[in-house]
A = this chain, B = another copy of it.
Amino acid sequence: MEVYNKEANIMNPEWNNLINKMLDGNIRAIARLITNVENRIIGWQDAMKVIYSKAGRARVIGITGSPGAGKSSLTNRIALMLREKGLKIGIIAVDPSSPFSGGALLGDRLRMKDIFSDKNIFIRSMATRGALGGLCQAAKDVVRILDASGKDVIIIETVGVGQDEIEIVRAADFVMLVLVPGQGDGIQAIKAGVMEIADLYVVNKSDRDGADEVVNDITSMLEMSGRSSTQKTKIIKTSVINNTGFEDLIDIFIKINKIPIEKKQYYFDKIKEEIFTLLEIEIVRYIKNKWEEDEKLDLAIQSIIEKQNDPYSLVEKMIAVLN
């Protein structure tokens, strides 16, 4: 276990070096640090402790919506416009089909070459698989690193369907949901989880037929849920073809505030949630390592295959050590 003293900044010199470079906004250091934390390289916890104390300034925007709604194009556009206002941008793409993840057509990536070549826009893509149920926590860690590295706005782009994805946008300060005309089923798919938490509804590709119907659908939904009275919730129509709606979007984005620290219950609940998530991830990692050391686990599984034992009894026994 690394020993870290907050005052004296005593830490593994390699980590220390990496963190200092990251705090200066060095792109390679940011990327490396994220990878090291994701891979739980020894010392990651101490690193995150320092980073946690430096973070908390950036505004975090979650952009979500059904596949094909044009989230990546919007993210691209918004990022470039915020750059023009002098803001530093971080983008986290939690969507395997996003151009930011390299999952989309090459044409999409070429169309977005401006954003890839801007040194003040840091883009990180995260896999939606294999994160061991810890995708949301992993995203939070990345947000904090980007925040500490000096980014003003961090955009998280996710496809708005799975539970993990909903958890991720819920962690943002501000949630923008992108819908498009002519995707009745698409709206269905996201309705269950994300519709209720969005702060802003964007009807993209609004040059197409049916844009006003989507606006009406959202309005009725807001009225039904009693949210129409909240001034915070807005609906904006955008169109890349007609180049409309983007100024309104940016106006909203530059006015987003962090939720005031006075709203203690809000922060209390968020922190509590995160503690349990972290706890879960770390305990499992700990116990996995412990049990996989010798052949104990293999023998136990063997006895389950032979029906001499069952998973419930085994887990009961494993937990008994805690008592």
Enumerate chain A interface residues (CB-CB to B < 8 A): 45, 48-49, 52-53, 66-68, 96-97, 103, 128-129, 133, 135, 159, 161-165, 183-186, 188-189, 191-193, 261, 264, 267-268, 271-272, 274-276, 278-280, 282-284, 286-288, 297, 300-302, 304-305, 307, 310-316, 318-319, 321-322
Contacts and interface: CB of A to CB of B under 8 A. Distances in A.
Contact of A161 (B162, B274, B279): B162
B271 A192 contact: no
Contact of A279 (B135, B185, B287, B305): B287
Contacts of A267: 305
A282 B45 contact: no
B159 A135 contact: no
A134 to B, nearest CB: 9
Nearest to A287: B279
A310 B53 contact: yes
Contacts of A278: 311-312, 315
Nearest to A69: B185
CB-CB nearest 10 A-B residue pairs: A162-B162, A68-B185, A67-B189, A52-B310, A161-B161, A278-B315, A96-B192, A48-B312, A67-B185, A280-B284
A322 B283 contact: yes
A316 B45 contact: yes
A304 B68 contact: no
Given A192-B128, A312-B52, A271 B319 contact: no
A31 B283 CA distance: 33
Contact of A314 (B128, B193, B275, B300): B275
Determine how many copies of this chain the complex contains.
2
Nearest to A279: B315
B307 A68 contact: no
A274 B311 contact: yes
Nearest to A298: B268
Given A68-B188, A261-B305, A319 B283 contact: yes
A43 B198 CA distance: 41
Given A133-B133, A312-B278, A301 B271 contact: yes
Contacts of A96: 192
Contacts of A184: 68
Contact of A312 (B49, B185, B272): B49
17 contacts: A48-B312, A96-B192, A97-B191, A129-B163, A129-B192, A161-B161, A161-B162, A163-B164, A261-B305, A264-B305, A274-B311, A275-B297, A275-B300, A275-B315, A278-B311, A280-B284, A283-B322
A163 B135 contact: yes
A49 B313 CA distance: 7
A271 B188 contact: no
A26 B23 CA distance: 64
A189 B52 contact: no
A92 to B, nearest CB: 17
A19 to B, nearest CB: 14
A286 B129 contact: no
